[in-house]
Copies of this chain bind each other. A is one copy, B any other.
Amino acid sequence: MAIVTVPVLSRSERNAMAMQAAGTERPATIHDIAAICGVAASTVSRALSTPDRVNIRTRARIEAAAAELNYTPNSQAKALSSGRTGAVGVLVPDITNPFYFDLIRGTQLQLKAAGYTQLLVDTEESDEVEASSMEQLRKSADGIIVTASRLSDEALLAAAAKIPIVTINRDVAGVPAVVIDTPSATSQALDHLISLGHTRIAYMAGPLTSQSSTLRWNALAAAAEDRGVEVRRLGPFAPKTQSGAAAADAAVHSGVSACIAFNDLIAIGMLQRLRERGIRVPEDMSVVGCDDIFGADFCNPPLTTMASPIEEAGRVSVSMLLAQLNPLAGGGSRSRSLMPTHLTVRGSTGPVPPAV
């Protein structure tokens, strides 16, 4: 039997066959462009990424061919060879929390503007999911934006040593952070309530692992002591409207006339529960929320809340991260950014009820 030599097909020949077989167009590669222009693939690569290293006329031909073939670089291959993925991970504890909508949109806009892709991950309020997501992203992203981290300071520092990180609402020395200054807004809220005559006030705390909640409480407690009013801490409560019922009951039971909730979700849940129980807001009880999320303006009554520039915080975090990734751009990159907040007064706060 004669030995039959099967002709070896070149890559492009095989691709052509595959195209014919599948009837489906195959995305163009730099090799296709190189073949058309009669240059090497490496020249095409340079023409598109380091235009100065290539003759202007050659470049023009290559660019024309690229446009002709509708060429877009393969990001996987790019990532593999360059080590840069062009993606940034954004970790949020709960994707259905409206607070993160604006944040996500902020990061999305800024990342897209810089040519990056956003990898959104819902960590389900779990430190384990958060940690494993980070490990995963370490290889598939150039950097990570971590919101309201549930991890320990040590874990965050260790992670930041492996991959550029910017935190939002989580302040750890050595890790760049965007911090929304709600603590200082809490004293505004407190003064607002005091000016309405309230002296017995409750703070409806968020999760124990939330640094934001702790900071707000500390600021609030300090301000309360300063003003000589009583503020008690209740909770913790999960940051969901469903927890608002328990929070409302706890507030009523504690005998306060006003409360400041960890966030708007809890506050809105409280409004619903208080209504169910026939307790009028703000006549019988004043409620202050935090964040000014979607819904805070149209709930019943509209919520007095501490408004944060959330979308801007998202944008700033991306800028800080990108500054870390491309240190070339002049100017030392700030490692800390404090976003101002202010109290937005609506209908859920009012004068203290007259003593019975």
Contact = CB atoms under 8 A, between A and B. Distances in A.
Interface of A: 24-25, 27, 72, 74-77, 79-80, 85, 95-96, 98, 101-102, 104-105, 108, 117-120, 122, 135-136, 138-140, 161-162, 241, 268, 271-272, 294-295, 297-301
Contacts of A139: 27, 72, 74-76
A206 B95 CA distance: 26
Given A75-B140, A271-B298, A295-B294, A101 B95 contact: yes
A295 B105 CA distance: 19
A24 B161 CA distance: 7
26 contacts: A24-B161, A27-B138, A27-B139, A72-B135, A72-B139, A74-B80, A74-B139, A76-B140, A77-B80, A95-B104, A95-B105, A95-B108, A96-B105, A96-B294, A98-B98, A98-B101, A98-B294, A108-B122, A117-B119, A118-B120, A120-B120, A268-B298, A271-B298, A295-B295, A295-B299, A298-B299
10 tightest A-B CB contacts, nearest first: A300-B300, A295-B295, A76-B79, A120-B120, A96-B101, A76-B80, A298-B299, A76-B76, A75-B140, A96-B105
Given A72-B139, A95-B108, A118-B120, 8 more contacts: A76-B79, A98-B98, A241-B298, A271-B298, A294-B294, A295-B295, A295-B298, A298-B299
Contacts of A301: 300
Contacts of A272: 297-298
A180 B126 CA distance: 32
A301 B301 CA distance: 10
**Copies of this chain, count:** 2
Contacts of A299: 295, 298-300
Contacts of A300: 298-301
A309 B79 CA distance: 38
Nearest to A23: B161
Nearest to A83: B76
Nearest to A97: B101
Nearest to A112: B122
Given A117-B119, A295-B294, A136 B80 contact: no
Nearest to A73: B139
A268 B98 CA distance: 16
A268 B294 CA distance: 11
A74 B268 CA distance: 44
Contacts of A297: 272
Nearest to A74: B139
B295 A25 contact: no
Contacts of A75: 139-140
Given A98-B98, A298-B300, A162 B119 contact: no
A114 to B, nearest CB: 15
